[in-house]
Structure 1
Amino acid sequence: MNELDWVEFLKRRFKEIGDDCGVVKKGDWFYLFTNDLFVENIHFKKGKITLKNLGRRAIARAISDIVACGGVPEFVSISIGISKDFRGKALKKIVEGIYNFCKEYKLKVVGGDTSSSPFFFLDVFCLGKAKKVVLRSKAKEEDYIFLSGPLGRLKFSQVPYIRVREVQSLLKKYKVNAMIDISDGFFLDMYRLLKESRKGVLIYRENLPIRRWRELLRGEDYELIFVVDKSEDIERLKKKYFLVGRIKNEKFGYKIKKKDTIEDIPLEGYLHF
């Protein structure tokens, strides 16, 4: 059983699972909930990232899920597993990184927990809200597929820029039917969106903002794949973002156009197991 099989098993047991966030509607607002783990030797290695950036990146990963559902992140709760290699000054630098990132994105830290651990990890719970929620499951045939930015430019030691303001502006101006953030590679996360929407896709190879093919497979980019309704005038949108494909019916499959040929897309990306 790999990670995809595990998620499918959970979705059969818990019907509400399926998007980047849990979603609860109360009054005029949708409240968005998400959890994200950042684990030593899985998501980062000691010495390969500064301690401050370690703290910043852990929070960035969590709030990206909120933004991918059309929301604005507001509150975080952070649980920390502390190993013998991450104590004293090291731990203070990590917390300083968390503090600075939360200040930059106007997040309030409202709680958490602490435990000793044989390895270091951060478990970040985030709460946000949205007037309109954007799910993975609402893409429609012939909708336009956009990327919010180039892929493969961010080093694992760096902190991703999370497009909170851009998404809010986008949702005010355009009908966005579906969205997902790229945490496990473009192809794998695109597949997840299509599976929830029960659709196929045609990706345009020449439009992909990459330098090398492998940049489509690596995770941790945290750019957004967003699907704009086919009725929209997208000329202005194409000047700011990358039009990379169209949604097709499910029977069309999962394909990419390379010059004069159309090929099946390999289901590749980052899986935790």
Structure 2
Amino acid sequence: MIEDKTPQRTSLAQLGEFGLIDHLTKHFGVSQESTLKSIGDDAAVLDFKDKKILVSTDLLIEGVHFDLAYMPLKHLGYKAVVVNVSDICAMNAKATQITVSVAVSNRFPLEALEELFAGIALAADEYKVDVIGGDTTSSQKGLIISITVLGEADADEIAYRNGAKENDLLVVTGDIGAAYMGLQVLEREKQVFQVNPNSQPDLDAYTYLIERQLKPEARKDVRTLLHALEIKPTSMIDISDGLSSEIIHLCKQSGVGCNLYEDKLPLDPQLINVCEEFGIDSTTVAINGGEDYELLFTIKMEDFDKIKGNPNFTVIGHMVPESEGIHLITRADTKIPLKARGWNALSEES
């Protein structure tokens, strides 16, 4: 199929704010019993009966959190939902509704927003969350997306960051570091493109890493898996800012220390190969790279047999008395204090 070099451009001013909202949200249905009223009134109405309600919100800003040079708008819409759903998964709860707010500059035509909202709709369908409202406004510079997510859980299901105890095992889902290396590959290709706009990148060797960066998934399955194994996490967090930062959050809020074992870190083979290609230490990437959206949690020592050998989970360390500190135990059996070198949105060095 030949690419259309002159795509249709419909001015947002033609629709007006309410016309735009109607146009972008007409495909959103309702799948949750708790959604009594979604888009179209002054507020959404939710009925949670006996459930506890969880709320989280995230702001994504062009040039800080994403680069449209290599981030397709449809992927961006999908990812914006995922990063919010992940926060609810990190509480061992189920995401149910989201609100979506966007600020756009006049360089975005209607068709660009349609792509963004197509990604949002795809994720909403995948994660069975209802889009129940939001806001649109203009922006002086680029694109800004703010999503608020609501979730539900029974009181005894919810996992907080402050429940880890000494001797608890530290467990991670999936593999880590891949999203960070996906970003490095995309940044490198962007530099090449800027020098030679005719170059066609061959990204076959990096497909997994790039997908982890451009289209991450929230671990909505973990709650079900743990429930089936009859495991209640003692503490939990998602890996958005980097493993080291998240471990430090759990330790500080729980009043414990931690030993993290380098030889236990779950790394995808593609990650190891690409780290070698870039001359970057894979352990450094695994503990400092963010945006994996895997879950990090602690369990009681006696629950070890329940997850032993389970392909979804890897035990990577254990909690120790607070006085022992937070350390990485290297393959050479040396102890290195763990520092938070992960993503910091307020730092210019990130």
Corresponding letter in the other structure for 1:81: A
Q: Report the 3-state secondary structure (helix = DSSP H, G, I; strand = E; otherwise coil) of the residue aligned with 1:138.
A: coil
Q: Deviations along 1:219-247, whole A, 9 cap, x unmatched?
A: 11101111111221336444321110001
- After superposition, give the CA deviation of every residue in 1:33-83 in whole Å (9 maximum; x if it has no partner): 000111101110112111100100001011100000011001000110112
Higher strand share: 1
TM-score (norm 1): 0.86
Letter in 2 for 1:257: I
Amino acid across the alignment from 1:133:
I
Q: 2:216 maps to what in 1?
A: 160
Distance 1:253 1:171 in 2: 31
- How many residue pairs get matched? 248
Which residue of the partner structure matches residue 291 of structure 2? Answer: 220
The C-alpha deviation readout for 1:180-199, integer Å capped at 9, x for no partner, is: 00111110111111111011
Q: When you count helix as a share of all residues, which structure comes out higher?
A: 2
Residue 260 of structure 1: which of 313, 316, 333 is its match? 333
2:317 aligns to what SS in structure 1? strand
- What CA deviation, in whole Å up to 9, does each residue of 1:12-37 have, x standing for no partner? xxxxxxxxxxxxxx864221100011
Match of 2:74 among 52, 70, 76: 52
Is the aligned partner of 1:234 residue 2:291? no
1:125 — aligned with what? 148
Residues 288, 340 of structure 2: 8 Å contact kept: no
Q: CA RMSD in A?
A: 1.6
- The letter of the residue matching 1:163 is R
Q: Which residue of 1 aligns with 2:175?
A: 150
Q: Which one of the candidate residues 85, 95, 102 is aligned to 1:73? A: 95
Aligned to 1:17: none
**How far apart, CA to CA, are the structure 2 residues paired with 1:130 and 1:136?**
16
State the AA in 1 paired with 2:300.
Answer: D
Distance change >3 Å, CA 171–CA 249, structure 1 → 2:
farther
Partner of 1:97: 119
CA distance in 2, matches of 1:170, 1:50: 34
Distance in 2 of aligned mates of 1:178 and 1:113: 34
1:197 to 208, 229, 254: 254
TM-score (norm 2): 0.68
One-letter identity of the residue aligned with 1:150: D
CA distance 1:33–1:237, change in 2 (3 Å): farther
Deviating beyond 6 angstroms after TM superposition, the runs of 4 or more aligned structure 1 residues are: none
Higher Rg of the two aligned structures: 2
The amino acid that maps onto 1:226 is: F
Counterparts of 2:321 and 2:175, CA distance in 1: 27
CA contact (8 A) 2:265 2:286 kept: no
Residue deviations 1:123-149 (CA, integer Å, cap 9, x gap): 001100012110000001000001101
Identical residues among aligned pairs (%): 30
> Cα–Cα, structure 1 residues 235 and 174, in superposed 2: closer, same or farther, change >3 Å?
closer
- Letter of the structure 2 residue corresponding to residue 270 of structure 1: W
Question: 235, 238, 241: which one pairs with 1:178?
Answer: 235
CA distance in 1: counterparts of 2:294 and 2:108, whole angstroms: 30
State the match for 2:44 in structure 1.
Answer: none
| AA at the equivalent of 1:36 | D
